[in-house]
Amino acid sequence: MAKIERKYLAHYVDTSADRENPVYERLGKDLEEFSAELSAQVDTKKNILGETAVLISGYEKTGSVEPYYAEAGTGLFERLQNIIDKSLVMDDLKTAVVEVKLWEERDNSTYPATLEEAFIEVKSYGGDTSGYQIPFVLHFTGKKVAGVFDLNTRTFTAEE
């Protein structure tokens, strides 16, 4: 079996503030790396026999998007700039991220995907002479829905 190239795991962020009408934009143009970090909640206990029991009870998943170079006219830039300009908090930071497995084409332009709720944390803005940068972190809530993503229409459809 051949190794899967990184470009075949796609991440789309909903850039719309309207949850009923999502507009998905793909991450990656200026990114050399993007990984979902799984910080496990681990409890260990040692008993009187010297044995260690390990319990992993969950994960706190995050993904850091750095660098992110602002590009006028894109939905993601508009969303991030709005967070900065209005100092948005709480539910105003809520979005959805769709992870698409491009190595498993189903029908013409549809691929298996998972939609997960997330919150956007803007870390800073400004940057150096290379361009206006707005690095941000996606904090995933664990609320996931399996389905398919259509690349042509950029729509997610949940499985029944």
What total number of domains does the chain contain? Answer: 1
- Mean pLDDT of the region 116-122: 97
State the average pLDDT for the chain. 93
- Rounded to an integer, the average pLDDT of 153-159 is 95
Going by pLDDT thresholds of 50, 70 and 90, the confidence category of residue 105 is: confident
pLDDT at 112: 96
Task: Say if 1 falls within a structural domain.
Answer: no
Residue 39 domain-assigned?
Answer: yes
Domain assignment of residue 90, yes or no: yes
What pLDDT score was predicted for residue 19? Answer: 81
pTM for this model (two decimals) = 0.88
Residue 60 belongs to what domain range?
A: 6-158
SS3 of the chain: the string is: CCCCCHHHEEEEEECCCCCCCCCEEECCCCCCCCCEEEEEEEEEEECCCCCEEEEEEEEEEEEEECCCECCCCCHHHHHHHHHHHHCCCHHHHEEEEEEEECCCCCECCEEEEEEEEEEEEECCCECCCCCCECCEEEEEEEEEEEEEEECCCCEEEECC
Residue 37: inside a domain: yes
The confidence score (pLDDT) of residue 1 equals 63
pLDDT digits (tens, 9 = 90+) for 19-66: 889 999 999 988 888 999 999 899 999 999 999 999 998 889 999 999
Structural domain includes residue 14: yes
